[in-house]
Homo-oligomer: A and B are copies of this chain.
Amino acid sequence: MDISMRQLTEIPRAEALSLLAGATLGRIVFTAHALPAVRLVSHIVEEAAIVIRSHYGAAIIRVRPEGDGGPRERAANDIVVAYEADEFDSDAGLGWSVAVTGTAALVRDPGDIARYERMLPAWNKDGGIAGQFVRICPEIVTGYRFACGTG
């Protein structure tokens, strides 16, 4: 058990997004059945947006059919989610974590979907549901580096 002290240093937004872009796994935070939920997913960063592939795509976005035939997709663009990625080098005792809060929407453009299918691995479960792509536009970006000292 590591009981050493850990020192935190904040990371500027641009550097935090750059670290996120260099990682391949992260955790999407959403609401499922009115409860907080979190799932490990793979991601890419493209033009400052985070794109994930998830079986939970529909649950994350929670598109509610409008009784009056209203705009489904507009509602789907208003969902606020959080996303987190981190890396920790236990040998060096150094790591970083970046947490993002932003709005999420299902990717619906066929060209985008085809491109992301080549870029993001599918996570197959129970015979291969490939999942949906969700694009997250970061608004609040919080990053820090941490170091484990001996203090």
Question: Is the CB–CB distance between B5 and A122 below 8 Å?
Answer: yes
Taken together, the copies of this chain in the complex come to: 2
Chain B, residue nearest A41 (CB): B97
Partner of A1, one of B3, B82, B119: B119
Question: Is the CB–CB distance between A123 and B30 below 8 Å?
Answer: no
The interface residues of chain A, by DSSP majority, are classed as strand
Is the CB of A13 closer than 8 A to any CB of chain B?
Answer: no
Question: Is the CB–CB distance between A5 and B124 below 8 Å?
Answer: yes
A6 to B40, CA, bound (A): 12
Segment touching B, from A21-29, A61-69, A70-78, A106-114 = A21-29
CB distance from A81 to the nearest CB of B (A): 6
Q: Could you tell me which residues of chain A, from 5 to 23, have a CB within 8 Å of some CB in chain B? A: 5-8
A42 to B39, CA, bound (A): 18
- When distances are taken between beta carbons in the complex, the residues of chain B under 8 Å from A124 are 5-8
A118 to B4, CA, bound (A): 10
In this complex, how many residues of chain A approach chain B with their Cβ under 8 Å: the count is 44
Partner of A101, one of B36, B140, B148: B36
Is the CB of A141 closer than 8 A to any CB of chain B?
Answer: no
Question: Is the CB–CB distance between A24 and B6 below 8 Å?
Answer: no
Question: Is the CB–CB distance between B101 and A123 below 8 Å?
Answer: no
A interface residues (Cβ-Cβ under 8 A, vs B): 1-8, 24-25, 27, 29-31, 35-40, 42, 44, 80-84, 86, 88, 97, 99, 101, 118-125, 140, 144, 146, 148
